[in-house]
Amino acid sequence: MNKFTIALVLISLSHEFWSLLAAMVLFYPAFGAFVSLSQATLMDLQPPRHE
C-alpha cells in the first residue's frame, strides 16, 4: 500500500485527536503529489491558459 492509502485507513480508524493528527500529518504530503500532478495535467490540456 502507498502512503495515501495508509493515511486514509488511519484517518478512518482514528478515535482520538492525536491519532487523527498523526494520520493527517502523513496524509498532507501524500495529497500534495496529486495536486501537483493534476495542475500539470490541466496546464498541458490548455496551454494558452497557463497564467
pLDDT-derived band at 13 (thresholds 50, 70, 90) equals very high
Q: Determine, yes or no, domain membership for 31.
A: yes
Quote the CA–CA distance of 4 and 51 in Å, as a whole number: 29
Per the structure, how many domains does the chain have? 1
**Amino acid at residue number 36:** S
Q: Interior CA angle at 40 toward 38 and 45, to 5°?
A: 95
* Residue 30 belongs to a domain: yes
Residues 24-36 have pLDDT tens digits of 888 777 666 666 7
Contact 27, 7 (CB under 8 A): yes
- Pick the more confident residue, 32 or 23: 23
More confident position, 35 or 22? 22
pTM: 0.53
Looking at residue 47, the DSSP 8-state letter turns out to be G
What is the extent of the structural domain holding 36? 3-45
Q: Report if residue 51 sits inside a domain.
A: no
